[in-house]
A and B are shown apart, each in its own frame.
Chain A
Amino acid sequence: MSESLLGQLQTYAAQSNSKVSMPRKGETFIEVDQDHIKDFISHLVNDFRILHLATITGLDLGENIGIIYHLSQDKDTIYVRSIVPKAKSTAVSIVEVIPGAILYEMEIHDLFGVTFTGNPWINQKLLLPDNWPADLPPPLLKTSKPAEIRKRLQLEVERK
């Protein structure tokens, strides 16, 4: 990505009240709130032509769940970060902008319990077993212990 494009991107991000930081060369962190995430990413895709979404990462941040969209172009990686409270873990889907994001959103739904509104397949399981109990917390939260999950799934198998 050229320097001027990166400058434009930073100006745009600053205008829309987003925090921008560049800890290392080639890495840009942009914080965007959930209300603007879809607009922001569609702006990146349509106007800046940053087309490749590497993946979407979920993070357990204690009170909140962090969602990072890793967009990249050549040597530059752009981390678009957004935060969803654990109490009401609903996020906006970007499938309309980037159709390739569909499985990544399903993965975060399975492993962190975040529901993406607008994703047509969000109610299907992607990774977790079919007999995953509804009341068991999602496995990648820091409070979930593998031993407990194993014990609970064992009970589910025995119940059958």
Chain B
Amino acid sequence: MSDEAKLREESAGLMEYSVENLVPFGPIHPALKEPEYFKLILEGEKIVQVIPRIGYVHRGLEKAAESRPWVQNMYMFERTCGICSFVHSLCYGQAVEGLTIYEVPRRAKYIRLIISELERIHSHLLWVGLMGHWAGFETLFMWVWNDREVILDLVEAISGNRVHKSMNAFCGVRRDMPENMEDRIVERMKFITDRAHYYRDIIDSEETMLARTENVGNKINQETAQKLCAVGPMARYVGLRQDVRLNDPYAAYDEVPFDIVTRTEGDVRALLRLRLDELVVSANMISYAVKHLPEGPIRVKIAPIIPAGEHSSHCEAPRGEIFYYVKSTGGRTPDRVKSRQPTMANIPTALELLKGQTLADVPMVLTAIDPCFGCMDRMSFLDTESQKQWTWSGEQLRQYGIKHYFPERFDANRSKFKEAH
């Protein structure tokens, strides 16, 4: 079969095109920070069809989860993403908690909310910086990422880590809020609010940003967004009031007053405005939550065996709805864990947004959905046995740790550990 015939078959008659019009975008491309491949089919300068190919960083987490204890999975799923890590463990935790009889303490719910919202602010700031970068406005990128440090410092002060907070536990959180943090957090939130207003002014007046964002992106209506199952900001920027925090409150979202932001312009600038406004909403929520933090325990200890059953949970990650489904047969490990990330749900919408756009706008539009391909893919088969590369298994690493820190406990005959290189 010739290449052309094969391509025709792949497109399954969606449209007629010749091979000359096909522009490969990725998997390695300067506009993508993670490897992903988009087949762009052009007619002249305009894109008429996009076919995605994902999976370059698929890590097999769902398969791995089936052989690990329930609690270990919580910290493994946290490593799905390096930006919105907390919400993954929260959503998985909530799905598992639904199978047990225990209640989450009220103070833990508030701490969960504070961390979730801090994470949303840092994720949105990261994204605004990247949009500045792709628009050719490097100063914005540097300003915003500098402000993001403020949030990362707060996260570090609360959880001890900058990115993978490992704060969550089943039915609670692992660490309490440090004492005397209230004033500091409120002050920083005021700073973030001021900066968000300042950036709003910039994107509404700065010529570079206006030229690269105004009327960029194929405009879609609400019905299309719903049919394509868009989630999070991608649904809200066409005017849909879709937000899990509002529609199905989890953590302490039913006790903290807030209102979601929606826009109706339907271009890339609407997404920028929406996310900058969400910064203010999140900052207000955090200030309210730290002022009204209830007293009490932060955690309930639960048994390591989870009762049989199936349950699902969804949360509002910075990029949109995140969904976890767990099935237990009453053992020490789950029977099945399914995780669906917001980027996966937003890809069909992104493909629709690209239609009718020029090739030069592809980085802007693709970045506009705030893609996180590392999240979306969850499996790759690491080549551990090849002669050129070598990696240590978890057991080898553990043995190395024992040898390094507790040489008296290390037993060379018992362990499989070999000093590599």
Residues of A participating in the B interface, judged by any CB pair closer than 8 Å: 23-24, 27, 51-55, 57-60, 68, 70, 72, 74-75, 77, 79, 98-104, 107, 110-111, 120-121, 123-129, 139-140, 142, 144, 146, 149-151, 153-154, 157
Chain B count of residues within 8 A CB distance of the other chain: 51
For A130, give the chain B residue with the smallest CB separation. B53
Residue of B9, B13, B336 with most partner-chain A CB within 10 A = B336
Minimum Cβ distance to chain B for residue A130 (Å): 9
How many angstroms between the C-alpha atoms of A59 and B310 in the bound complex? Answer: 12
| B positions within 8 Å CB-CB of A | 9-14, 51-55, 58, 60, 62-64, 66, 98, 226-230, 242, 247-248, 309-312, 314, 321, 323, 325, 327, 336, 338, 340, 344-345, 347-349, 377, 379, 381-386
Q: Taking the nearest CB of chain B, how far is it from the CB of A82, in angstroms?
A: 15
Inter-chain CA distance A54–B315, complex, in Å, is 11
Interface of A is mostly: mixed
Bound Cα distance from A61 to B336, whole angstroms: 10
CB pair A72–B327 under 8 Å, yes or no, is: no
Determine whether the beta carbon of B248 is less than 8 Å from that of A59.
Answer: no
Contact between chains at A127 and B377 (CB < 8 Å): yes
Contacts of A57 in B (CB 8 A): 325, 336, 338
A128 to B327, CA, bound (A): 24
* 13 A/B residue pairs, CB under 8 Å, sorted by A: A54-B323, A55-B344, A57-B338, A70-B323, A74-B247, A77-B312, A104-B340, A110-B55, A127-B379, A128-B58, A129-B55, A146-B381, A157-B386
> In the complex, what distance in Å separates the CA atom of A60 from the CA atom of B226?
30
Given the known interface contacts A74-B248, A139-B60, the answer about A52 and B226 at a Cβ–Cβ threshold of 8 Å is: yes
Do A123 and B10 form a contact, CB below 8 Å, given A100-B228, A102-B348, A103-B344? yes
Is the CB–CB distance between A153 and B55 below 8 Å? no
* CB-defined contacts of B381 to chain A, threshold 8 Å: 129, 146, 149-150, 153
Rounded to whole angstroms, the CA-CA distance of A146 and B229 in the bound complex is 32
Task: Give the 7 A-B CB pairs with smallest separation, nearest first.
Answer: A100-B229, A127-B55, A55-B340, A120-B12, A100-B228, A57-B338, A54-B323
Contact A100 B348 (CB under 8 A): yes
